[in-house]
């Protein structure tokens, strides 16, 4: 090059923004979703509360974990999660592994002083979830149960409307999480093994419904439920149906299934209040349906939740340029890093391990009701 | 007029098409809907199986019933329904009165040899419904419980698809009938009086859900339900929620409410089978959502049910020229007149009084489950 | 009957409501739609402004017209429309025949003192339309060009919003009337013969788009258009496309086609104003999409136009119980009968023959622009 | 730590996957979108064809460009784009700057041997676009005009269906790109300056419509257009309307506006063929509406384009877990890197500079037609 180059060195490492080391357990579906989120937080949320440094990833298969480390840019990999716990450069332990490995590694990481993220369901049942919550809460670290759908902008907007009293008295919640991939007898995954998963559609999908029910309406008081396994030989539930009553008097339904043909990721809910109603479908996650009483031209309004005034939208694009499912994890883990940085608390807008535990109590009550044929009352343990 | 007029006398009375006298009990909402249907049958369905002659209408208020007679073109009116029973020119007795007057007049009319139509719910509870069915069946007349939504073209199309095996094994039925007019403490109507109505949202709306559940999926085996009255002082239920199990193993939900703000007449249902799924909303009653497995471009198809090949469409308009809610009664009563004329049977495509009774058993079980907190088993009486 | 019958004689003929004799030309699609409307007006709109008496129907085929008379309940029938003109018991002459018979019979009927309804397009071109308007206006009778879509409740609501200034300055109108039945080379109907129809998709469907454009936005100033015949041997246009400019400065498009596969009766339009936008689809004719600026939860609201406060809804059902395409004619002809009864004027809410003529001028300009390749300026003749 | 740590050094730099240096011009909207894409390609597409190394970013404002370098992780920054051209570690030059800086830097970069990406519109008019194409084509580098909407999975699926003949003969294309942010007289941006932008809604939004029209239907033969500026003092067009004719005989419309209140990013198009129709809306970019002729349950199918068999979906998530607008750039630049790596060609599935030029010819013809009032014939220059 003949003429002088004036390129300047950039503060490529993020300048004064402090870094935080991330240790990830799991490299599959959730490993991809969470790793993508940590990478995007570094520049989509600007300035990020902390700059995630992808330190290490752990998983059972050496080949898969090595590949994941290379793919997502982790500095190191291991087949033994204890290495993550022992690694002092890791400040956040993110557990995206199968349910069976939620408890021990998460507790160990917290006891090693790391802030912890754990995928839902927190434990395989309420007892295990309670143990995780109790043990982790005792350490004083920040904890997030990764109910990422709280971080869909439309869902957060719903919450803000409810908090502001815009719905009035809530009468109904109807939530259903419908998928259809379960109708294949030849499928095998840890999600079909009770010891690894705890339950089937209940813990996988129903837990999400329960969490948003709690997030938006409040705690559940009773459940009257059916639990069903359709496929011969399958050892976990394929679907659950529940009539539910909330502590605040609202009534409704909680449903989840892996056999709703044609519904690929249809987490749909509707809330009817005395002043307004809301409806949502995860397959159109950028939209919130809002009905407000009053005008001659009232009706359900399709709010495209993508405005500067809408939750999380400061990170994204101009209005109408929608985000994707994967982006909800960016919002979620950004919130968590803010909590870690002391800028906010995980609760009440994010789900803590207490929320993970309480959702598990409802799921357990659904199982009990399915077996007993009785309306089951909920009771929740404290620390 | 100077020049000769070539106008011919028309066969204005319908020529060779035999007439049948109609006696109507009730002049309000259902009186209007049924009267309109009988008038339209005469020319929209052509040739009609029988030409309805609107003989007489009965109701409690002399002014209202006289006005209705004039409006809808009844030859006579009366404030005493016994007059209809005694009137030999009446061949069809149509009971569109409040629930409290379903049993006695309907039975009396049938015993007088008239074919009978009765609005839903058949009786105020299962016992009364059973008595009506038993008494009327003993007479040998034709009987129709006016679950008119069986006669929405999209609903009939769904039934035909199911009958043809196009859905495969049915796994789920989710039905909800949502309205919102009940949230007004100052309202008073017979629909809020237990002695006149039997129940609230349950019998008014829930019975429709139960009937289509039975029509499309089959008989209900168990219900686990909540029954709720929200408004202080209201004496009937405002809403019900139920998890249901069908005799064929499908599971799902039945819901009805008068407090779902923004839902004006939202009778929505979805059925998931192993080969196809269907979804429907009464507020868009001309559309059936159909998902079929298989192709790369599969998805829910919005079928505008308005083609010559679609049920009932021979009566209506060119494709895409939709019909209204009121027109479903034309389809329904046309079917009934065909049965009266011996061209078909009321069952299985129309609802007989047995169907009315069976729906009432499910409604009663919902009430029992709401009280007992237990999953209630259904059992059905025979004649 | 043994015991006394208390039935009273009803005022079956409608009591004091004056009757008006209707003479109908045409027994096919429009004959059915209009006859149904006149019959329903008698009891759905209550009290009706006038009680339609179906006096006589005329048409070319003796068998068909005799059958239609019997079916719809006309007292007489004829194969010679002059008989209708000569019939003094006829007060309203309704021309639902092919376009080729719009001019002469309509003018003759008006000159005989009958109020006249004529299906759209008024004439086969602007000149013929002008002649009809001029001749009929000279007689002083009431005249309605049957652009029935003005009488869809959602369309009238749109008009009311615009009249009230709720849209602000209108910038865009995009209208398209899409059907797909034309893609069959074996089809033959008068609609494909230029001498009988005048034009193809243009006059049949495009005229509706132009009328609502005028009704909602205002008169058209220029058109830049394409006119296309796709099927070999077809003698009328299959489709037209036009960029249009309105006198008030708004710009947009007018499109119509009989070859939009999958669109059965999709008359869709959207209007963007500076304060609000509206969108509509005839296949969901009970819904109006309304966007209003301002709130954080703005978006397009699906207004189910079926409330007591909505246009024409006093005739129909409880909220959410939708009407059908055929019912728009009830609203339309009720409006016309009110005008005949002196309760209102046909204009500006109904389309007069002047409106029919003006729409024809726009259609002619589209044809000219298609041929010339130039933007054509509109000019409108007065009387 | 007492026990040995088995963490291995990861191949964090991507192992054997060759890197390619990226030089970015522009740090605003498109700079963010493209930078995000290059970062995600490294791990969402696996293995990526080349591993993008973000070498340097250039822009006018020193503060903004320094901030962008830090934010997106560029190694260096500069306020002089010549530095990017001179930088030998840059293999791909990506021009996301305002239209006025498309020509010179892009040509210079190509002449320096760099593969070039340029945002749309390619130049400010057809002449400039032609010059860019001609100069760049002469260098032999790969070139992509960043019409990213070709890389929406639903759009690519549409293209694949059309290429496979599934639509039959195409009769209509209706495309409109509607936004509403332009209705603010106080706004100022380079997009409102003719010298910087070339045109307004035409080049910004209309060019996208034209490109997809060409991509899906074929080259445009004639346009009959209106070009309008609504806001006083605005120097570029606010909206255009055009009736268009394609070389293959299809006819339709091309519309774009910044004044369609309520439409935030509504790039909607519909194509009607003799065998199938397609419809799309960018605000629901994961969905393609497909109508196929034939069955009794035909209708528009909402295909959720998120299956393993769907275009680009190998990079993303399980079915039904939708992607966002930003992700379309990942698909696009992945395609370009594949072309750079010799695995495919940019054309015909990606837009080359020839496509950028041809779109510009259509835009110019729209301007000419707006001025002349005549239907303008298209002619396209070759090299």
For residue range B85-135, list pLDDT tens digits in order.
Answer: 999 999 999 999 999 999 999 999 999 999 999 999 999 999 999 999 999
For residue range C114-155, list pLDDT tens digits in order.
Answer: 999 999 999 999 999 999 999 999 999 999 999 999 999 999
Give the list of residues 6+ apart from residue B50 with CB closer than 8 angstroms, or none: B17, B18, B19, B20, B337, B340, B341
Nearest CA in chain B to D320: B299
Angular region, C255: left φ>0, alpha ψ -120 to 50, beta rest? beta
Distance from CA of B200 to the nearest CA of A (A): 16
pLDDT above 50 for C69: yes
User: Which of C5, C47, C67 best probes binding to B when mutated, by most B CB atoms within 10 angstroms?
Assistant: C5
Cβ within 8 Å, pair D259-C224 = no
What are the two backbone dihedrals, phi and then psi, of residue C225, each rounded to the nearest 5 degrees? -135, 160
Cβ within 8 Å, pair B242-A244 = no
Count CB-CB contacts under 10 A for residue A1. Answer: 10
Per the DSSP assignment, residues forming a β-bridge with A272 are: A172, A277
Cβ within 8 Å, pair A78-D7 = yes
Q: Which residues of A122-141 are buried (b: 16+ CB within 10 A; e: fewer)?
A: bbbbbebbbebbbbbbebeb
Cβ within 8 Å, pair A224-B291 = no
* Neighboring chain B residues of C87 at a CB cutoff of 8 Å: 1, 5, 7
pLDDT above 80 for C7: no
Closest CA to C117 of C98, C150, C95: C95
**Measured between alpha carbons, how far is D96 from D291 in angstroms, rounded to an integer?**
37
Q: Which residue has the higher pLDDT, B38 or C2?
A: B38
For residue range B5-38, list pLDDT tens digits in order.
Answer: 455 554 554 568 999 999 999 999 999 999 999 9
Compute the average pLDDT of residues B217-235: 97
Closest CA to C77 of C139, C27, C12: C27
Per the DSSP assignment, residues forming a β-bridge with B266 are: B178
Q: How confident is the model at residue C161 (pLDDT cuts 50, 70, 90)?
A: very high
A329-A333-A339 Cα angle (round to 5): 155
CATH 3.40.50.720 placement within chain D = 9-149
Compute the average pLDDT of residues C5-18: 60
Nearest-CB residue to B230 (from A171, A291, A375): A171
Distance from CA of B169 to the nearest CA of D (A): 19
Cβ within 8 Å, pair C375-D299 = no
Compute the average pLDDT of residues B251-256: 98
Nearest-CB residue to D298 (from B157, B300, B303): B303
pLDDT by 10s per residue, chain D, length 383: 333 345 555 455 456 899 999 999 999 999 999 999 999 999 999 999 999 999 999 999 999 999 999 999 999 999 999 999 999 999 999 999 999 999 999 999 999 999 999 999 999 999 999 999 999 999 999 999 999 999 999 999 999 999 999 999 999 999 999 999 999 999 999 999 999 999 999 999 999 999 999 999 999 999 999 999 999 999 999 999 999 999 999 999 999 999 999 999 999 999 999 999 999 999 999 999 999 998 999 999 999 999 999 999 999 999 999 999 999 999 999 999 999 999 999 999 999 999 999 999 999 999 999 999 999 999 999 99
* Neighboring chain D residues of C249 at a CB cutoff of 8 Å: 228, 230
Closest CA to B33 of B119, B133, B127: B119
Nearest-CB residue to D29 (from A5, A73, A318): A318
User: Which of D273, D299, D302, D303 best probes binding to B when mutated, by most B CB atoms within 10 angstroms?
Assistant: D299
Distances (CA, A) of C96 to A102, C144, C331: 74, 12, 17
- Percent of chain B predicted with pLDDT > 90: 95
Cβ within 8 Å, pair C320-B266 = yes
Closest CA to A58 of A22, A12, A103, A107: A22
Q: How confident is the model at residue A10 (pLDDT cuts 50, 70, 90)?
A: low
ipTM given for this complex: 0.95
**Measured between alpha carbons, how far is A299 from B134 in angstroms, rounded to an integer?**
45
Give SS3 for B99. helix
Whose structure tokens read 């409806």? Answer: A279
Distances (CA, A) of D164 to A290, B330, D291: 41, 45, 15
Distance from CA of A310 to the nearest CA of C (A): 8
**Measured between alpha carbons, how far is B206 from B225 in angstroms, rounded to an integer?**
12
For residue range A29-83, list pLDDT tens digits in order.
Answer: 999 999 999 999 999 999 999 999 999 999 999 999 999 999 999 999 999 999 9
Q: At what angle do helices B103-111 and B126-137 cross, to 10 degrees?
A: 10
Nearest-CB residue to C277 (from D226, D249, D260): D260
Distance from CA of C119 to the nearest CA of A (A): 31
Nearest-CB residue to C299 (from A161, A304, A309): A304
Nearest-CB residue to A374 (from B245, B252, B373): B373
Nearest-CB residue to B304 (from D288, D292, D299): D299
Burial of C274 (0-12, 13-18, 19+ CB in 10 A): middle
Give SS3 for C308. coil
* Neighboring chain D residues of B156 at a CB cutoff of 8 Å: none
Q: At what angle do helices D207-216 and D153-163 cross, to 10 degrees?
A: 40
Can you give the pLDDT at residue D15?
62
Structure tokens that stand for D95 in this block? 């021009």
Cβ within 8 Å, pair D325-A319 = no
Nearest CA in chain A to D267: A320
Fold topology of B150-376: Dihydrodipicolinate Reductase; domain 2 (3.30.360)
Cβ within 8 Å, pair D249-C257 = no
Burial of B2 (0-12, 13-18, 19+ CB in 10 A): exposed
* Neighboring chain B residues of C5 at a CB cutoff of 8 Å: 78, 83, 86-87
User: Which of C297, C303, C319 best probes binding to A when mutated, by most A CB atoms within 10 angstroms?
Assistant: C297
Q: Domain A9-149, what architecture? A: 3-Layer(aba) Sandwich (3.40)
Cβ within 8 Å, pair B318-C6 = no
Count CB-CB contacts under 10 A for residue B8. Answer: 17
D56-D90-D355 Cα angle (round to 5): 100
Can you give the pLDDT at residue D14?
53
Q: Which residue has the higher pLDDT, C5 or D299?
A: D299
**Measured between alpha carbons, how far is C357 from A206 in angstroms, rounded to an integer?**
62
Nearest CA in chain B to A294: B262
Nearest-CB residue to C301 (from A299, A307, A309): A299
* Neighboring chain D residues of A65 at a CB cutoff of 8 Å: none
pLDDT above 50 for A2: no
Cβ within 8 Å, pair B243-A225 = yes
A101: DSSP letter: G
Count CB-CB contacts under 10 A for residue B342. Answer: 9
Cβ within 8 Å, pair B87-C326 = no
Count CB-CB contacts under 10 A for residue B139. Answer: 17
Cβ within 8 Å, pair A304-D264 = yes
**Measured between alpha carbons, how far is C150 from C207 in angstroms, rounded to an integer?**
13
Distance from CA of A2 to the nearest CA of D (A): 9
Nearest-CB residue to C174 (from D176, D183, D299): D176
Closest CA to A311 of A150, A144, A167: A150
Quote the strand ranges of B155-249, DSSP E.
170-178, 220-228, 239-246
Indicate if the alpha-carbon torsion angle B239, B243, B247, B251 is positive or negative.
positive
Cβ within 8 Å, pair C325-B319 = no
Residues of chain A that touch chain C, judged by Cβ-Cβ distance less than 8 Å = 157, 161, 287-288, 290, 292, 296-304, 307, 309-310
Angular region, D14: left φ>0, alpha ψ -120 to 50, beta rest? left
Count CB-CB contacts under 10 A for residue B53. Answer: 20
Structure tokens that stand for B294 in this block? 């298989």
For residue range C273-293, list pLDDT tens digits in order.
Answer: 999 999 999 999 999 999 999
First to last CA, chain D: 69
Cβ within 8 Å, pair C317-B306 = no
* Neighboring chain D residues of C234 at a CB cutoff of 8 Å: none
Distance from CA of C284 to the nearest CA of D (A): 14
CATH 3.30.360.10 placement within chain C = 150-376
pLDDT above 60 for C212: yes
Nearest CA in chain B to A246: B226
pLDDT above 50 for C54: yes
**Measured between alpha carbons, how far is D381 from D133 in angstroms, rounded to an integer?**
11
pLDDT above 50 for B3: no
Three-state secondary structure of chain D: CCCCCCCEECCCCCCCCCEEEEEEECCCHHHHHHHHHHHHHHHHCCCCCCEEEEEEEECCCHHHHHHHHHHHCCCEEECCCHHHHHCCCCCEEEECCCHHHCHHHHHHHHHCCCEEEECCCCCCCHHHHHHHHHHHHCCCCCEEECCHHHHCHHHHHHHHHHHCCCCCCEEEEEEEEECCCCCCCCCCCHHHCHHHHCCCHHHHHHHHHHHHHHHHCCCEEEEEEEEECCCCCCCCCCEEEEEEEECCCCEEEEEEECCCCCCCCEEEEEEEECCEEEEEEHHHCCEEEEEECCCCCCCEEEEECCCCCCCCHHHCCCCCCCCCCCHHHHHHHHHHHHHHCCCCCCCCCCCCHHHHHHHHHHHHHHHHHHHHCECEECCCCCC
Cβ within 8 Å, pair A285-D322 = yes
Compute the average pLDDT of residues A324-352: 98
Structure tokens that stand for B342 in this block? 């011996």
User: Which of A161, A167, A168, A171 best probes binding to B when mutated, by most B CB atoms within 10 angstroms?
Assistant: A171
Can you give the pLDDT at residue B8?
54
CB contact at 8 A, B188 and B113: no
- Percent of chain A predicted with pLDDT > 90: 95
Nearest-CB residue to A6 (from D83, D265, D286): D83
Radius of gyration of chain D (CA): 21
Nearest CA in chain D to A326: D323
Q: How confident is the model at residue A294 (pLDDT cuts 50, 70, 90)?
A: confident
pLDDT above 50 for B139: yes
Closest CA to D78 of C159, B113, A6: A6
Nearest-CB residue to D301 (from B287, B300, B304): B300
CB contact at 8 A, D154 and D323: no
């Amino acid at each position: 090059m003949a003429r002088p180059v004036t390129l300047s060195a950039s503060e490529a490492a993020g300048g004064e923004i402090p870094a935080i080391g991330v240790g990830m357990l799991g490299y599959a579906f959730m490993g991809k979703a969470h790793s993508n989120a940590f990478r995007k937080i570094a520049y989509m949320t600007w300035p990020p509360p902390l700059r995630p440094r992808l330190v290490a990833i752990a998983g059972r298969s050496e080949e898969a974990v090595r590949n994941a480390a290379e793919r997502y840019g982790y500095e190191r990999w291991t087949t033994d999660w204890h290495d993550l716990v022992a690694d002092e450069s890791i400040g956040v332990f993110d557990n995206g592994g199968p349910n069976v490995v939620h408890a021990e590694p998460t507790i160990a990481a917290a006891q090693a002083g790391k802030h912890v993220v754990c995928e839902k369901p927190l434990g395989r049942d309420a007892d295990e979830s309670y143990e995780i919550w109790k043990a982790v809460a005792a350490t004083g670290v920040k904890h997030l149960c990764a109910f990422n759908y709280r971080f869909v902008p439309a869902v957060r907007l719903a919450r803000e409307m409810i908090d502001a009293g815009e719905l009035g008295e809530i009468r109904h919640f109807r939530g259903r999480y419908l998928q259809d991939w379960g109708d294949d007898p030849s499928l095998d995954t840890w999600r079909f093994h009770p010891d690894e998963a705890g339950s089937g559609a209940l813990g996988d999908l129903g837990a999400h419904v329960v969490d948003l029910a709690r997030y938006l309406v409040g705690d559940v008081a009773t459940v009257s439920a059916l639990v069903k396994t359709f496929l011969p030989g399958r050892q976990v539930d394929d679907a659950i149906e529940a009539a539910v009553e909330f502590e605040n008097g609202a009534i409704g339904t909680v449903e989840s299934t892996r056999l709703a043909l044609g519904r690929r990721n249809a987490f749909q809910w509707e809330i009817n209040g005395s002043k307004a109603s809301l409806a949502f479908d995860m397959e159109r996650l950028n939209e919130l349906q809002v009905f407000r009483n009053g005008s001659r031209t009232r009706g359900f309004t399709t709010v495209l939740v993508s405005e500067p005034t809408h939750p999380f939208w400061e990170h994204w694009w101009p209005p109408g340029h929608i985000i994707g499912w994967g982006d909800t994890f960016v919002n979620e883990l950004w919130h968590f890093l803010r909590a870690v940085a002391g800028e906010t608390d995980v609760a009440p807008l994010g789900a803590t391990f207490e929320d993970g535990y309480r959702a598990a109590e409802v799921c357990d009550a659904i199982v009990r009701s399915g077996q007993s044929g009785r309306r089951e009352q909920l009771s929740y343990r404290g620390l």
